Structure 1
Amino acid sequence: MRFYNFGDSRNTHLLLIPDNAQHYSIFERGIKDLIPDFYITICSFDGFDETIKETFVSHEKEMEQIEAYINEHDEGHLSCAYGLGHGGEVLCSLLERSHITIDKCIIDSAYFEYLSTPYAMMQASAATMFFYPLIKEKTISRGVMHFLTREQKENPEFISRWQQHYLSHNLDFIKKRSLFNQFSSSYQLKHKKNLLIPNTAVHVFFSMKMGARYLRRYQYFFANAIYHYFNMSAQELLITKPDQWALELYSIFKGRI
């Protein structure tokens, strides 16, 4: 894993964790308004960074590297952290492991789809087939086309921005094995019911278009979290409204809530 830092190290330290199959640059449009007030560290996973030759192995290994970084640079205590998509599940696991402490965290558009090993392998294979042609060859598979056609009707800006992240960056260094390992590892992250971490405020950004099933799942794991509701699709806030995304983070991490 590599860590990219932005801003003055004397400011409040904010850790950002991207979703699966994402380059760390997914945050580049959002952080510009946060840099004056935060010291920002973006995690870049093994296998998904052009400067790292290693293949992604597991989230366990990545979490160990995050913990080592926070222990070395922040004496094991972090002011605030944000996890997007499966990155939110990694953040949840970091809280459960208790090797580091975090004052405030935001979990955004996470899925919490724990699967037994055979089903995790099957789902990871499907996710790999979805993303690999888009990343490696800049071609759109049948699965991606179905997703784009369905979503394009409701939210053309979101789909345009989402496509741009993959088509405008040279991501052909990402290996199929890294994609498969990352998704299979995510589907096998198991979390506790009613997670309650002493001295940690957990905030949830819930995208209403994810539906009631996911809301129930969030409430199962985070009954005591502070919920922020957005009438959007998963990850839409960051991808289409980075200024608003930055403002939401600022109000939570610099505010009293």
Structure 2
Amino acid sequence: MQFEEMGNMSGKTLMLLPGTCCDWQTNFGTVIPDLSEKYHLICVNYDGFDGSDNIFPDMITVTEKIENYINEHHAGRIDGAIGSSLGSSFVGQLVMRRNVHIDHAIFGSPDLDQSGKISAKLQSMLVVPLLTSFTGNKEKRNKSKEKLKKIFEMDDENAEKFMNCFSKFNPQSIKNEYYTDLLTHLEEDISVEHTKAHFIYANKMGEKYLKRYKKYFHDPEIREFDMQHEQWLFGGKKYAEPVLKAIDEFMEMPI
């Protein structure tokens, strides 16, 4: 595991938790300069996605390591944490388990998928090969890149970074991360005193995800954006600036 602290060291603490098959450098790279101006950032890379030879074990083991870091280095409390996609599962677990305290739990347009073991295995058999397909021949890579650019309105540079990120990690780590995320469940109507849950809702994902946010968390603060899943991180200033403004507003809300 890697924990790297940077930014405005006198500002509020904000932990950044990347999504599936990503390190923080790729996942949050386009917004780190803006966030660093205001916040004391704690950037996390999980086992298997930190440049080491370690294999990602499972979501709960990694959650425990994040809790240990917050307890040891920040006296058990941080001002905020934002999870990108799968990273939101860690945010949810940190809040629900109550072993550390987060004032502002920010969920970056997650799907919050949960399933049983059989369904999780079947889904993994279908999805993991797609997640590890970016190491193919040049023609295959170019087709994948064009799909990313079209779906997320990425420019060529960000699409290439995204593909390189997915292709550099051990397939076993990718499988373990995807599979155990499906098995890591949240309780319904989670409510923790002095913690506020905030959701970045990408409405092009569909309303079923909005219903999930309201199912798992009590009275969440939800901001709707006309974008695809996590498009604010790869689609340029058009998408990033409104979300960054919302994050600032989340972090200033009374709890």
Q: TM-score, normalised by structure 2?
A: 0.88
How far, CA to CA, are the matches of 1:100 and 1:148 in structure 2? 42
Alpha carbons of structure 1 residues 28 and 70: separation in structure 2 relative to 1, 3 Å: same
Give the percent of matched residue pairs that are identical in Structure 1 and Structure 2: 22
In structure 1, the residue corresponding to 2:180 is in which secondary structure? helix
The answer to whether the 8 Å contact 1:59/1:90 transfers is yes
Tell me how far apart the structure 1 counterparts of residues 160 and 145 of structure 2 sit (CA, whole Å). 15
| Counterpart residue type for residue 24 of structure 2 | Y
- Write the letter of the residue equivalent to 2:177: Q
Q: CA deviation at 1:219?
A: 1.7
- Given that residues 18 and 84 in structure 2 are in contact (C-alpha distance below 8 angstroms), is that contact kept between their aligned partners in structure 1? yes
Equivalent residues in 2 for 1:7-26 (5 A)?
Answer: 7-25=7-25, 26=27
Whether 1:44 aligns to 2:39 is no
Inter-partner Cα distance in structure 1 for 2:253 and 2:194? 16
Counting matched residue pairs gives: 251
Secondary structure of the residue aligned to 1:42 is strand
Residue equivalent to 1:176: 171
- Pair 1:205-2:206 in alignment: no
Following superposition of structure 1 onto structure 2, how do residues 1-257 of structure 1 map, counting pairs within 5 Å? 1-25=1-25, 26-50=27-51, 52-134=52-134, 136-137=135-136, 149=147, 155=151, 157-158=153-154, 160=156, 163-168=159-164, 171-172=167-168, 174-240=169-235, 241=237, 242-256=240-254
- Contact 2:59/2:181 (CA < 8 Å) preserved in 1? yes
Shift of 1:12: 1.1
How far apart in 2 are the matches of 1:56 and 1:140?
30
Deviation for aligned residue 1:103 = 0.7
In 1, the alpha carbon distance for the partners of 2:210 and 2:139 equals 30
Runs of 4 or more above 6 Å deviation: none
Deviations along 1:177-218, one digit per CA (max 9) or x if unpaired, are 001000001001111111111110111110000111111222
**Runs of 5+ in structure 2 lacking a partner?**
none
- CA offset at residue 49 of structure 1? 1.8
Q: After superposing the two structures, state which structure 1 stretch, 6-15 or 68-77, moved more.
A: 6-15
Length-normalised TM-score, structure 1: 0.88
Structure 1 residue 127: deviation in Å?
A: 2.2
Q: For residue 37 of structure 1, what is the amino acid of its counterpart?
A: K
SS of the aligned residue for 2:132 comes to helix
Q: Which moved more, 1:4-13 or 1:114-123?
A: 4-13
